[in-house]
Amino acid sequence: MARKMILRDEDATIRLAIKLAEYAQAGDAILLSGPLGAGKSFFARAFLRAFCRAPHLEVPSPTYTLVQSYESPSCVVSHFDLWRLGGPDELEELGWDEAREGVVLVEWPQKLEDLLPEDALKLEIRVLADGQRQARLAGWEDRLKEADIAGVGTDV
């Protein structure tokens, strides 16, 4: 079951990232999709800072390196930006299998093709005409039922 909400501003995006970081665990994949400029990297930075419990963590975009990994108190979390990936066969070189033992955040997940994790949390962010974001969450049904994300944004 998918859940949609309006994220009125960057603070709402940060609150969503913090809340989802509370429920993430080793073996999870969070797939971030949406057009350029939608806020995928912004969400990823906020998530990484919350999950790693490091509010001032430097989080460069992995657009050119394709992956950046971070130590958290519970596991390694890897942030993949697959925009420039030629195909899923290149993922082996990036350490995809090892990264899946921890948490993976994946921007441009459609590049995973057959490697798309079925049990992933899918977060699609769209930019509305007024500049607000609409987030659509699908997956993690059991955890999202428990998560209190009601105050994060306005349900649609």
Q: Which domains does the chain have, with CATH numbers?
A: 2-137 (3.40.50.300)
Q: Which residue bears the tokens 């459609």? A: 110
Is pTM beyond 0.85 here? yes
Half-sphere exposure in the Cβ direction for 90 (13 Å, CA): 13
Distance of CA 23 to the CA centre of its chain: 13
CA distance 42 to 78: 15
> How much is the pLDDT for 16?
94
H-assigned helices in the chain: 10-23, 40-51, 96-99, 141-146
**Whole-number pLDDT of residue 147:** 66
pLDDT of residue 143: 80
**Structural tokens at position 66:** 């394709």
Name the burial class of residue 129, with classes exposed (0-12), middle (13-18) and buried (19+) by CB atoms within 10 angstroms of its CB. exposed
How does pLDDT run along the chain (156 residues), one tens digit per residue?
688 999 999 999 999 999 999 999 999 999 999 999 899 999 999 999 999 999 999 998 887 788 999 999 999 999 999 998 888 888 888 999 999 999 999 999 999 988 899 999 999 999 999 989 999 999 988 887 766 665 676 666
